[in-house]
Chains A and B, each alone.
Chain A
Amino acid sequence: MSTRNMASAESNASRHPLVLSTEKVDDFLALQADFEQEISPKGAIERMYVHDVAALVWDIRRFRNAKTAFINNAFASALLEIIRRIMPTSEITLDAKAERLARGWFLEQKTRIEVEELLATHDLDDQSVAAEAIRQVAPELERFDGMLTKLELRRDRALQNIEDLRAGLAKRVRQASDRVLDDNLLVLSDTHRGAS
C-alpha cells in the first residue's frame, strides 16, 4: 500500500461521503452552513433542496478548480511543444535540451528567464504557452464544460424549486387568508342581517 493510500485509509473514518480526500470537510460544512443561513429553509423539503444546492455548488467548484488545474497540467507539454518548434534549426535534434528548458521553467529562475528570452525572439510569451495548453486539451475541456453546464442547470433548478415552494406557500397563505376574510364577511353580513 502506497503512503498516499495509507494516509487516505487512515483519514477515511473522518471523511464526509461527498468530500474527496484532497478536499477539506470543514470547507464543505461551512458552505452548507452559509447556504442554510442565506436561504433560511423552512421545513424538511426546503432543507433538502438547500443541501442539494450546497452539494451541487461543491461539485461545480470542484469541476472549475479541476478545469484550471487540468490546463496547468498541460502547460509543461505545451511549453515543450513550443520550445521544440522555435529552437534554432541546428538545435532541433537536441530534444534533451528542449526538455531541460521546459522542466527548468517550473524549477529554476535562471532557466525561466532563458525560456522567456527564447519565446520573445518569436514574439511569444506565457500566454502563447497557455493557449497551446488549451489547444492540446480542448476535447477534454469540452467534456469538462459539458459536465459543468449540467451541474449549473441542476443548481438553478434546485433554487427554482425553493422559489416555487415559497411561491406556492405564499399562494396558499393568501388563499387561506382570503377564505378567512370571506368567512368573516359572511359572519359580518349575517350579524348585520340579524341586527336588522
Chain B
Amino acid sequence: MASKRQIEANRRNARSSTGPRSNAGKRSASRNAIRHGLTVRLSGPAFERAVESLARKLAGNTDDALTLELARTAAEAELELTRVRQTRTALIERAIAFGSLDAPSYFPSALAKVKWISNMLKWTEGQLLVRPDRPVADDPSSSMPQEDQARTAEAIRRISPDLLALNRYERRAVVRRDRAVRALTRR
C-alpha cells in the first residue's frame, strides 16, 4: 500500500501533468477515442434484438433468469467483438483505397502552414509582389502499389499503429465473452 508521502507525491505529479504539449500530440490524443468509436457501448432496439436473439441461442432451452443474463453478457461481448473485427476490415479497406486514414495534408508541417498564411497576408497587404503558390494536397494513394497483395500489405503497414490499438478493444471483448461463457457452461 502506498504511504501518505507517496500519495501526496502522486497527487503533486498528477497536478503538474498537463497531457500532451506539442500540437501533434494534442491532435493525436484528441482522436484517441474518436478514431475508432469503439469505447462507445452499442445500444438501440436493433442491437437489443440481436443480443436477445443470440443470448437465447447461447442459453439453450431455458427460462432461468441468471442463465439468460449470463448469455446476454456473452452475446453482447460477442457482437462487440464482431464490431471490432468489422472495424479492422473497414480501416484496412480505407487505407487500400486512399493510402492513409488521414485526410490529405496541404502542408508538410505546422510551421510551413504558418509561413504560407503569413506570406498570403503579406501579399494581400502589398508587402509581397508575387502571390504564394497554392498549397497542393499530398496524395498518399499515389505511392500505393497497384497489385492487390502488395497494396493490402502496404495498407496494413501504414495503419499498423491503429491496428495495434484495435487489439486492446478486441482483447477486452474476448475476455468479457469468455468469462460469461465459462459461467454459463458451469450452470
Contact = CB atoms under 8 A, between A and B. Distances in A.
Given A17-B86, A45-B185, A73-B150, A66 B97 contact: no
Contact of A20 (B152, B164, B184): B152
Contact of B160 (A5, A8, A65, A147): A147
Contacts of A66: 149, 152-153, 156-157
Nearest to A56: B85
B96 interface: yes
B163 interface: yes
A175 interface: no
A19 interface: yes
Contact of B150 (A52, A69, A169): A69
Prevailing SS type, chain B contact patch: helix
Given A22-B148, A143-B164, A144-B160, A55 B85 contact: yes
A63 interface: yes
A144 B161 CA distance: 10
Contacts of B164: 143, 146-147
B93 A65 contact: no
Interface in A119-151: 140, 143-144, 146-147, 150
Contact of A45 (B58, B141, B170): B58
A144 B93 CA distance: 18
Contacts of B171: 154
B185 A140 contact: no
A21 interface: yes
Contact of A154 (B88, B174, B182): B174
B181 A161 contact: yes
A2 B98 CA distance: 10
B2 to A, nearest CB: 32
A73 B145 contact: yes
A157 B181 CA distance: 13
Contacts of B174: 154, 157
A165 B185 contact: yes
Nearest to B89: A18
A59 B163 CA distance: 12
Contacts of B156: 62-63, 66, 70, 144
B184 A45 contact: yes
A164 B54 CA distance: 21
B83 to A, nearest CB: 9
Contacts of B170: 154
Contacts of B96: 20-22
B78 interface: yes
A110 interface: no
Interface string B75-101: 000100110011011101100110000
26 contacts: A2-B141, A4-B97, A18-B89, A20-B96, A22-B149, A44-B54, A44-B60, A45-B58, A45-B184, A45-B185, A59-B88, A65-B152, A65-B153, A66-B156, A67-B153, A68-B153, A69-B149, A69-B152, A70-B154, A73-B153, A147-B167, A150-B167, A161-B178, A161-B181, A164-B182, A165-B181
Interface of A: 2, 4-5, 8, 17-23, 43-45, 48, 52, 55, 59, 62-63, 65-70, 72-73, 140, 143-144, 146-147, 150, 154, 157, 161, 164-165, 168-169
